[in-house]
Amino acid sequence: MRGVTGRLMLLDTASLYFRAYFGVPDSVKAPDGTPVNAVRGLLDFIDRLVKDHRPDSLVACMDADWRPRWRVDLIPSYKAHRVAEEHEAGPDEEEVPDTLSPQVPVIEDVLDALGIARVGVAGYEADDVIGTFTARTEGPIDIVTGDRDLYQLVDDARGVRVLYPLKGVGTLQMTDEALLREKYGVDGSGYADLALLRGDPSDGLPGVPGIGEKTAAKLLAEFGDLAGIMAAVDDPKAKLTPSQRKRLDEARPYVAVAPKVVRVAADVPLPDVDTTLPCTPRDPAGLDRLAVRWGLGGSLHRLLTTLEA
């Protein structure tokens, strides 16, 4: 990881280009009529993020595998409802809008020509790449994502915060430990346990039946963490209602495997990349060709002007 100095910004890239795709009209097209709303929207997002937050280093973190087999082996329902096609030999195909899929390679080519570090690692999600960069970097770190799962990385002491888009990327929720305690009753390290207990239908995580968000927060406040809660199940003196004790006891098989699924990895084999935010494009001629081919116009020009500044 070369070039990690000052403030590091980590982009959950798929989360952002999905938002761009749904936020920018599909009437935004290349000269040949191909929609490029996700491409141009993402460039506008990056431009705004760099302008507003001035990172020194930036990494576009990618989903090399959006549904890793090692997670599915532990919890088969993990993201199962989002599978368009299963593949024995490689990653399953995610259900993605027809006009978004062809834009992803264009996004990758443009980021590479710009010289913005782009990292995806086989067998891992972008969340895991973000988790590993966060574990290996001193800080401060801004994680930009529309996925609340990454709240688990928030750490005030290390200057790690999540910038959560509320409307585009012009209105971001600055997620620190104070906000997590106010909204969820936990800090960053407790968020994964909270998510595990309450479940998450969007990821196909069942959670513990009958244990919602508020109950999960109360149990974590009472017993400290997931291990403390499960120890309380075995302690007849612990302050658990009979139904809570029964439900948690019955959920032991899920609770035993869910932490590995819910917690982001911190040991991904990251490639050696230069994360320094570029001032000028790495491949100016290639970028010019992409700009003409895909009609990137003002979106690309604005980002280049911001990077040069």
- What is the residue whose two structure tokens read 């010019």? 288
DSSP H or E stretch at residue 95: none
Summarised one tens digit per residue, pLDDT across range 255-297 is 999 999 999 999 999 999 999 999 999 999 999 999 999 999 8
pLDDT at residue 254 in the model: 95
Is a pLDDT exceeding 60 seen at residue 3?
A: no
Higher pLDDT, 29 or 170: 29
pLDDT at residue 171 in the model: 86
What percent of the chain is predicted at pLDDT more than 90? 81
What DSSP letter does each residue of 205-217 carry, written as one string?
B---TT--HHHHH
Q: CA 140, 13, 308: angle at the middle one, nearest 5?
A: 65
Task: Name the CA radius of gyration of the chain, rounded.
Answer: 21
pLDDT at residue 82 in the model: 75
pLDDT at residue 50 in the model: 96
Average pLDDT over residues 146-162: 95
Q: Has this prediction a pTM greater than 0.75?
A: yes
pLDDT at residue 35 in the model: 95
CA distances from 260 to 163, 181, 225, 256 (A): 24, 23, 15, 9
Tell me how far apart the alpha carbons of residues 75 and 212 are, in angstroms, rounded to a whole number: 19
pLDDT at residue 43 in the model: 97
pLDDT at residue 93 in the model: 64
Higher pLDDT, 309 or 103: 103
pLDDT at residue 66 in the model: 84
Helix axes 226-233, 252-262, angle to 10 degrees: 180
Is a pLDDT exceeding 70 seen at residue 84?
A: no
Do residues 34 and 86 touch, judged by C-beta distance below 8 A?
A: no
CA distances from 308 to 52, 112, 248, 305 (A): 15, 17, 55, 5
Do residues 199 and 184 touch, judged by C-beta distance below 8 A?
A: no
